[in-house]
């Protein structure tokens, strides 16, 4: 902990170094549509009864596409971002073998309808350590301090029974960000990576995207996003992995 505090103090001092006044303020919103592939496994324990399932293999849950968005503000070397991603997957399958969930067993040959939901709210601060601004190109390298709040729910409904399991967890994360702009930032490439692991939990997230400005204040983007989550809380072990491309746009001032 002492080392972390020392590092943060050094970063704060570096961030206090003046930057070009012409590039000290920017704000706006960013939205995109994500096309991820899903891998999900959920294990529950209730009344001493433990069971688990693979969402795709056992319950026929398929891939879905989702919107996501964030609002941002940059003041000098400091970036502030708030984002939200609602994720929802559904499946319906006549199961080939017994599936135990939340202490109850859904028997083979029953038609089971599955719903998996993840609502994710992000708050983060990025501090640029390096931010040289050249005539036709720019570069930035920084650190990210982030908290992701995950609100999850899994629900299985069979012919005669239904079971629901919920979990909520705030996850602090740290990471790095880097970017390069060309032609006075008309074209940019940016990347962010954050994560944390503790006990039997982990959360890793990565985002890389290319963008360009067709008209003033408007930026078109395309990229790739990865989220790898493992949560062990409230008698549920939930593992989700989402990765895939996205397209979007940004409006700034």
**For residue 232, what are the CA distances in angstroms to 156, 168, 183, 201, 218?**
19, 11, 47, 6, 41
Are the C-beta atoms of residues 54 and 41 closer than 8 Å to each other?
yes
**pLDDT, the chain, mean:** 91
Nearest residue to 59 (alpha-carbon basis) of 105, 92, 98, 100:
92
Region label for 34, one of left (φ > 0), alpha (ψ between -120 and 50) or beta (otherwise): beta
Residue 160 has pLDDT above 70, yes or no: yes
Residues facing residue 115 across a β-bridge: 90, 155
The CA-CA-CA angle for residues 6, 27, 8, to 5°, reads 0
What pLDDT sits at residue 19? 42
Which of 7, 4, 8, 22 has its CA nearest to residue 131?
22
pLDDT at 134: 77
Q: How long is the chain?
A: 253
For residue 213, what pLDDT is reported? 97
How many beta carbons lie within 10 A of that of residue 36, not counting itself? 22
pLDDT at 18 over 80: no
Q: Looking at residues 28-56, what average pLDDT do you find? A: 96
Higher-confidence position of 8 and 208: 208
Instruction: Indicate if the pLDDT at residue 106 is higher than 90.
Output: yes
Do 119 and 87 contact (CB within 8 A), yes or no? yes
The proportion of the chain whose per-residue pLDDT surpasses 70, expressed as a percent, equals 91
Answer yes or no: are the C-beta atoms of 187 and 143 closer than 8 Å. Answer: no
Cα gap 221→247, rounded to integer Å? 6
Number of domain units in the chain: 1
pTM exceeds 0.85, yes or no? yes
d(CA 204, CA 227): 6
pLDDT above 70 (res 253): yes
Q: Which residue has the tokens 């204040």?
A: 217
CATH of residue 217: 2.40.128.90
Q: What is the pLDDT of residues 48-100, one digit of tens each?
A: 999 999 999 999 999 999 999 999 999 989 999 999 999 999 999 999 999 99
pLDDT for 4:
40
pLDDT of 6 higher than 80: no
- Check residue 111 and give its pLDDT: 97
Q: Flag the least confident range among 20-24, 108-112, 142-146, 249-253.
A: 20-24
Per-residue pLDDT, 14? 43
Position 135 scores a pLDDT of 75
pLDDT digits (tens, 9 = 90+) for 210-237: 999 999 999 999 999 999 999 999 899 9
Domain that holds residue 57: 2-252
Provide the strand spans (E) within 47-96: 49-54, 66-75, 78-94
CB 91 within 8 A of CB 64: no
Q: What is the pLDDT of residue 200?
A: 86
Distance of alpha carbon 17 from its chain centroid, rounded?
31
Which pLDDT score is estimated for 133? 75
Q: Residue 128 has what pLDDT? A: 96
Supply 217's token pair.
Answer: 């204040």
């Amino acid at each position: 902990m002492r080392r972390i505090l020392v590092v943060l103090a050094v970063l704060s001092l570096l961030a206090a170094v003046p930057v070009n006044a012409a590039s000290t303020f920017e704000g706006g919103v960013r939205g995109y549509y994500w096309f991820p592939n899903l891998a999900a496994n959920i294990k529950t324990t209730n009344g001493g009864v433990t069971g688990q399932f693979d969402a795709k293999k056992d319950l026929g849950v398929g891939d879905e596409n989702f919107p996501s968005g964030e609002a941002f503000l940059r003041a000098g070397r400091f970036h502030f971002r708030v984002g939200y991603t609602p994720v929802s997957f559904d499946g319906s399958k006549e199961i080939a073998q017994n599936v135990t969930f939340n202490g109850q067993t859904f028997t083979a040959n029953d038609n089971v309808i599955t719903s998996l939901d993840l609502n994710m709210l992000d708050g983060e601060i990025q501090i640029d350590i390096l931010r040289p601004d050249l005539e036709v190109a720019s570069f930035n390298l920084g650190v990210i301090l982030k908290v992701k709040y995950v609100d999850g729910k899994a629900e299985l409904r069979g012919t005669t029974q239904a079971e629901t399991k919920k979990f909520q967890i705030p996850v602090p994360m740290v990471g790095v960000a880097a970017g390069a702009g060309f032609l006075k930032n008309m074209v940019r490439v940016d990347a962010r990576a954050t994560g944390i692991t503790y006990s039997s939990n982990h959360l890793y997230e990565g985002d890389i995207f290319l963008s360009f400005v067709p008209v003033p204040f408007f930026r078109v983007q395309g990229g790739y996003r990865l989220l790898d989550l493992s949560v062990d809380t409230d008698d549920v072990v939930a593992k989700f992995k989402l990765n895939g491309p996205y397209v979007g746009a940004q409006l700034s001032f």
